[in-house]
Amino acid sequence: MIEPGRVRFMSLAVLFEGGLVFVALGLGWLFRIDVLGGLRPGAAAAVAGLVAAVPPFVLLLATERIRFGPLERIKELVLETLGPSLAACKWYDVVLLATLAGFGEELLFRGVVQVLIERWAAGWTTSGDWSWAAGLILSNVIFGLLHFITPTYAVLAGLMGVYFGLLLNVTGSHSLLAPILAHGLYDYLAFLVLIRATASSRPVGPDRHASAGAASNQTDERRSAIDEGNPKP
């Protein structure tokens, strides 16, 4: 059975996230950046990427217990806007979406934007350390602004971008594999948390609707009986 809502959501998501790959390749060609050359395979980069997904996910789980106004606003917005669409997806849709998000966004922002700003900064100063820092910070200011759901969300997204950007140098190989894996795995786990939260925030199945209706009817009957001076036990 075709589900129009799910198909439309996945089509738009794949078009957007997949489109970032072509944007990255196009900018790489324009500015002579070997984007695909950054996808160097290696066990160290793979392990670093998988392990690096754990700390931000633990922080995400911790925020579930934190009652802080701006964070509550983010949770409400994400739950309302993204939750129902993700909850309607199949398990393989969620895997595909997380994979594309990790691959497309990291290829563009860490593979092109960060490298490009580093290159430009290197022309302004003789300090290689400064150019590296400029690329890391400025590329993730852009990354955060493009995730501007709320000001707090933009700041958190920018900090996450810095975290992923730092992974480029963790293994010493400047491989994009580490941030891609970390980003993709984190997104997948975050999607699962959001799907669970969406499911728990609404009634599920006809029995719950029926029981709610029965309880409502009993309440109405009691109120009517009280009004008539003949309360039911």
Q: How far apart are CA 143 and CA 106, in angstroms?
A: 10
What one-character DSSP code corresponds to residue 211?
A: H
The structure's pTM equals 0.83
Measured distance CA(71)–CA(156) in Å, rounded: 10
Scored b (16 or more CB within 10 A) or e, 115-130 reads bbbbeebbeeeeeeee
C-alpha to C-alpha distance for 57 and 97, rounded to whole angstroms = 17
Residue with tokens 């140098």: 169
Per-residue pLDDT of the chain (233 residues; tens, 9 = 90+): 567 889 999 999 999 999 999 999 999 999 999 999 888 888 888 999 999 999 999 999 998 888 889 999 999 999 999 999 999 999 999 999 999 999 999 999 999 999 999 989 887 766 556 888 899 999 999 999 999 999 999 999 999 999 999 998 777 678 899 999 999 999 999 999 999 999 988 654 444 444 444 444 544 554 454 454 444 44
Q: Which two tokens stand for residue 140?
A: 């993730």
What does the pLDDT read at residue 210?
41
